[in-house]
């Protein structure tokens, strides 16, 4: 008797396969702290809870942030900077000490729900010229042993966030890892698979548009395009799916077709470039969220969206280096003070709520004295913008058209607020004056700073140190 043949629809089969690949997708956030106006960690944690954000990614193991996250129930990914990889690769003792201090100290009932440790951040980036490449796998091995010693290896997973330049392909189905990364990626993916970790990738359609004048603008978004990418029977109508499937094909070539994928960073800036504005950021992020949460998946993984998507970023970071572009300080969905920049539904069914209990400095601003000849103000302008953020004044910025006096006033005020409205910080050899009337012009908002526990002197020193460090790194990095 002939065996009964069951024919399962292809889409159903792929959806069943998807249940193996990934649980329900979550919208998460990157929480960066390179800011000249840094909110209290407790205020930010409350902001996350208000908006039902259940997962967050940190770029370091900041003890103040981790303490604030205790008991929150928020799942956390803590980061290890690339500069620490060599030490962990060569010293199991150093790895043990880091895990004890930054993971096991917080990983207890009622503590911090640390799910991932990000070992480096884009360590295979092309412009690093391989300087971190040889340290990744040895560091992973030592850190894995450290977790195992503390009985944490079954719960806390090691991951390595990769930039999308780790793989390439003329069309998505031809995706493969860069030839010089072939061996190490084979070993890395094997490690991740063995330990139940996902592959984490950072994807930025905005940077594709920013870096290529011929890139079709509508291909960066999710509303369809007049420039689709044809790949055999598959049609790609947005850059995100095309990029993601290039990775899927690269993983398939290594024999890991079911490797779960997490998007470690993705987003759209709101200022600092002609294509960076509130309208575009909202369109991209809402389109992405809808695309992911509806479970569309991609042509190579239909019905299987990424495991999690970490939006970049939660808050603006006004002290970041601008070597990648003037937009670099404006990726936040929230402004520096935790106020939502635009309506966004992250799957909760309502708009984002603003931060509560934000403590502002008094409502006063520093502006150029209108009675003075401002022809000799150039050096003061340079000083102000070397410490504070003036990127909105440049081409494509929201304050680009407020005129010379407006530019000077904006720079003076930005400096004044970073220095916590210190009386002397608005002097500028007599060119500045304090006003109690808001000098904002149209869409150009003159900010009022927020208070925090740090003194002005410490904050300025911190900004300078971060700026120096980021400048060195990004000169090696190139364009992010």
| Residues catalogued as catalytic | 122, 265
Owner of token pair 């495991």: 307
For 71-136, strand residue ranges (E) read: 75-80, 113-119
Apex CA 383: angle with CA 379 and CA 386, to 5°?
Answer: 135
| DSSP code per residue over 18-81 | HHHH--S-EEEEEE----SSPPPHHHHHHHHHHTT--EEEESS--HHHHHHHTTS--EEEEEE-
Phi then psi for residue 311, to 5 deg, are -65, 140
Q: Evaluate the omega torsion of the peptide bond into residue 313 and state whether it is cis, within 30 degrees of 0.
A: yes
Q: Do the beta carbons of residue 46 and residue 65 sit within 8 Å?
A: no
Nearest to 445 by CA among 369, 346, 341: 341
Q: 3-state class of 149 per DSSP?
A: helix
Nearest to 432 by CA among 411, 450, 449: 411
CA distance 63 to 14: 43
- Per DSSP, what are the bridge partners of residue 262? 200
Owner of token pair 């962990």: 88
Q: Do the beta carbons of residue 50 and residue 71 sit within 8 Å?
A: no
Across 353-388, b (16+ Cβ under 10 Å) vs e yields: bebeebeeeeebbbbbbeeeebeebeebbeebbebb
Q: Do the beta carbons of residue 28 and residue 53 sit within 8 Å?
A: yes
For 212-260, strand residue ranges (E) read: 229-231, 234-236
Q: What is the dihedral of CA 229, 235, 239, 241, to 10 degrees?
A: -150
In the numeric block, which tokens belong to residue 137?
């796998």
Please state whether beta strands 261-266 and 199-202 pair in parallel, antiparallel, or not at all (unpaired). parallel
CA distance 123 to 166: 10
Phi then psi for residue 116, to 5 deg, are -135, 150
């Amino acid at each position: 008797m002939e065996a009964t043949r069951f024919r399962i629809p292809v889409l159903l089969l792929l959806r069943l396969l998807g249940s193996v690949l990934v649980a329900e997708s979550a919208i998460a956030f990157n929480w960066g702290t390179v800011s000249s106006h840094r909110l209290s960690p407790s205020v930010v944690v409350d902001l996350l809870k208000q908006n039902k954000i259940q997962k967050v990614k940190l770029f370091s193991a900041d003890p103040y942030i981790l303490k604030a996250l205790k008991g929150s129930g928020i799942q956390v990914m803590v980061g290890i900077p690339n500069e620490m990889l060599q030490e962990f690769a060569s010293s199991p003792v150093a790895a043990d000490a880091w895990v004890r201090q930054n993971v096991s100290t917080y990983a207890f009932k009622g503590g911090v729900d640390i799910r991932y440790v990000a070992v480096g951040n884009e360590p295979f980036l092309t412009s690093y010229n391989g300087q971190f490449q040889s340290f990744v796998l040895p560091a992973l091995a030592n850190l894995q042993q450290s977790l195992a010693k503390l009985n944490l290896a079954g719960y806390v997973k090691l991951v390595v966030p990769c930039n999308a330049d780790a793989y390439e392909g003329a069309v998505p189905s031809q995706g493969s890892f860069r030839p010089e990364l072939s061996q190490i990626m084979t070993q890395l993916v094997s490690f991740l698979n063995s330990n139940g970790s996902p592959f984490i990738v950072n994807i930025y359609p905005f940077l594709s548009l920013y870096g290529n004048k011929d890139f079709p603008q509508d291909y960066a978004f999710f509303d369809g395009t007049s420039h689709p990418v044809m790949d055999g029977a598959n049609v790609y109508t947005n850059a995100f799916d095309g990029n993601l499937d290039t990775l899927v094909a690269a993983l398939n070539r290594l024999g890991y077709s079911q490797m779960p994928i997490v998007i470690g960073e993705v987003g759209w800036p709101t200022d600092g470039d002609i294509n960076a504005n509130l309208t575009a950021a909202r369109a991209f992020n809402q389109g992405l969220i809808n695309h992911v949460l509806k479970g569309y998946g991609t042509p190579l993984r239909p019905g299987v969206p990424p495991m999690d998507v970490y939006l970049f970023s939660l808050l603006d970071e006004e002290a970041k280096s601008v070597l990648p572009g003037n937009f670099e300080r404006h990726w936040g969905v929230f402004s520096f003070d935790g106020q939502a920049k635009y309506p966004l539904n992250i799957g909760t069914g309502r708009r984002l709520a603003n931060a509560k209990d934000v403590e502002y400095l008094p409502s006063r601003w520093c502006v150029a004295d209108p009675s003075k000849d401002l022809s000799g103000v150039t050096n003061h302008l340079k000083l102000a913008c070397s410490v504070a953020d003036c990127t909105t004044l440049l081409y494509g910025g929201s304050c680009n058209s407020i005129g010379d006096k407006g530019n000077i006033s904006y720079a003076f005020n930005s400096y004044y607020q970073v220095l916590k409205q210190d009386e002397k910080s608005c002097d500028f050899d007599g060119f500045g004056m304090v006003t109690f009337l808001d000098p904002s012009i149209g869409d150009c908002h003159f900010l009022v700073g927020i208070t925090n526990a740090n003194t002005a002197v410490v904050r300025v020193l911190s900004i300078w140190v971060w700026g120096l460090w980021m400048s060195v790194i990004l000169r090696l990095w190139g364009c992010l």
